[in-house]
Chains A and B, each alone.
Chain A
Amino acid sequence: MKDDFVIEVKNATVRFNMASEKIDNLKEYFIKLVKKELMFKEFLALQDVNLKVRKGEAWGIIGTNGSGKSTLLKLICGILSPYKGSVSANGTIAPLIELGAGFDGELTARENIYLNGAVLGYSKRFMQEYFEEIVEFAELWDFLDMPIKNYSSGMAARLGFSIATVVRPDILICDEVLSVGDIAFQRKCERRMRDMLESGTTLLYVSHSIGSVQEICDHALWLERGREVMSGDIHTVTDEYLNKYDTQQV
């Protein structure tokens, strides 16, 4: 290895097709084809973004809605692939982009723990070993054999967080997932995240609450309309960010 970056995003550009009407059936496709209206209106969700993260660093990603924060996280997780540029991430990733994304409402919580674990790439035996710890952390012993569709969104999120963080990943990716739980659980999650940071996990954190970003992270990246505005030390970036929007309001 030439350097010690765990995440390296180089000049990444992500392109979406934002044609005025989305064509998803053959009939329209052929009509447009004949009328020669089949255009590809491109939309660049990210343009030339660079990010280099060393092991153990905690990066907050800030910006207004639609600035490309989630796109960047998805890019790093491997859900999206870059149109230009390159992305590399070394190590296991625990993506908390939406908690419980792999849950099946018809299955019980017990069954979903195994299924969700499998979605994250853990074996059944591994999940059996950690089963108690997961339920303990989520505090859901009484509801284990209830179908998830009867869970409240907060309860499902607790279970999701608990599964995704049961093993210490090398890279933890968090996208505003903590906002659903109650205050006690939010604190619990923050504590767990801090424990992980102390033991060397790298964190990427997206939140609109600048306060919690400042509290948890040591670096920040500020995105605006898919472009990088500023990146570096947490306080320099967030102060500038707050400054911009506070003065705008006045």
Chain B
Amino acid sequence: MNKTGNRIKLFIKYRDLFIQLVEKDLKLKYRRSFLGYLWSVLNPLMIMAIMVLVFQHMFRFSIENYPVYVLSGQVCFNFLSEATNQAMVSITGNAALLKKTYVPKYIFTLSKVTSSCVNLLFSLGALLIVLLICKVQITVYMLWLPAVLLQLYFFCLGIGLMLAAVNVFFRDIQYIYGAFLTAWMYMTPLFYPMDQIPEQVQWIIKHLNPLYFYVGQFRDVMLYQQMPGNLILLAGLAASALALAVGSAVFLKAKNSFILYI
């Protein structure tokens, strides 16, 4: 109890550091770019346009409102990929600082995931544009979106904490994770329709792929104008709770030996 109290006190003391690290990431990302924050909207739009061209016109997937379908998958996956990749190097990348001053180490991981999340919020602007162009009805179900994103955020934070800790001891996890992410992308119906794939694989995706839980909920509320299904919501909550629990446990256990390896 006392330990938790101390942790909370410590976080309050360093909350300004957390905020400033997030601000710094965002500032540096767009500094010296002519269009600045607009890139967060333009970039997903451009990728989406390519995806639509390739898959709707060349592979002829017939999905209603395909641009929205693609973009919602892409927004979720990009966040996952950016947040976890950045979180992975958040400890090793700040080695110089961690060797010279005492700072709660998880602040760096937390701030990377959070700044990626802010980028995700910007890219929702792109989604809004596409929703309007495709004349998708704007409904109250869209108010569920924060709940979906929160699950995804904590899921990514858990994975990020775990990767950050492991990366301190084994640097090649970066390459392994890179390959893993590619596989994960193809194992999630981001740009192809679910019914295009064999049923056994569908079963695996629906039950074992956490990213699908979030993309599925995302599409439920943004595209299909409905509440997220009970099962998928429960699965999403469970996956993010599990990821966060395992991630923080690994991180807390390893954090005192970081200094010997960075």
Contact = CB atoms under 8 A, between A and B. Distances in A.
Interface string B67-97: 0000000000000000000000000000011
A16 B260 CA distance: 7
Interface string B96-131: 111111110000000000000000000000000000
B128 to A, nearest CB: 31
Interface stretch (A4-12, A19-27, A50-58, A241-249): A19-27
Nearest to A98: B100
Given A97-B101, A124-B20, A26 B14 contact: no
A31 interface: no
B13 A121 contact: yes
A28 to B, nearest CB: 9
Contacts of B171: 24-25
A229 interface: no
B260 A17 contact: yes
A98 B101 CA distance: 9
B173 interface: yes
Nearest to A175: B100
A67 interface: no
Contact of B24 (A80, A93, A111): A111
B20 A114 contact: yes
B95 to A, nearest CB: 10
A115 B24 contact: yes
Nearest to A104: B24
B102 A118 contact: no
Contacts of B98: 79
A64 interface: no
A151 B10 CA distance: 32
Residue among A95, A97, A101, A111 facing the most chain B CB atoms (10 A cut-off): A101
A106 B19 CA distance: 18
Contact of A97 (B14, B17, B100, B170): B100
B253 to A, nearest CB: 13
Nearest to B256: A81
A79 B170 contact: no
Given A118-B17, A121-B13, A95 B100 contact: yes
B172 interface: yes
A120 interface: yes
A95 B98 CA distance: 12
B6 to A, nearest CB: 13
Contacts of A120: 101
A124 B21 CA distance: 12
A26 B172 CA distance: 6
Contact of A26 (B21, B101, B173): B173
Contact of A80 (B17, B28, B176, B259): B259
Nearest to B17: A118
B170 A78 contact: no
B31 interface: yes
A17 B27 CA distance: 39
Given A17-B260, A26-B170, A79-B259, A118 B97 contact: no
Contacts of B101: 77, 79, 95, 97, 101-102, 119-120
Chain A to chain B: the 5 pairs with minimum beta-carbon distance, closest first: A101-B100, A118-B17, A78-B102, A25-B172, A26-B170
Interface of A: 16-17, 24-27, 29, 74, 77-81, 93, 95, 97-98, 101-102, 104, 106-107, 111, 114-115, 118-124
29 contacts: A17-B260, A25-B170, A25-B172, A29-B170, A74-B99, A77-B102, A78-B102, A79-B99, A79-B102, A79-B259, A81-B256, A93-B102, A95-B100, A95-B101, A97-B100, A97-B101, A98-B100, A101-B99, A102-B101, A104-B24, A104-B28, A111-B27, A115-B20, A118-B21, A119-B97, A120-B101, A121-B17, A123-B16, A124-B20
Given A78-B102, A118-B19, 6 more contacts: A24-B171, A24-B261, A26-B176, A95-B100, A119-B101, A121-B13
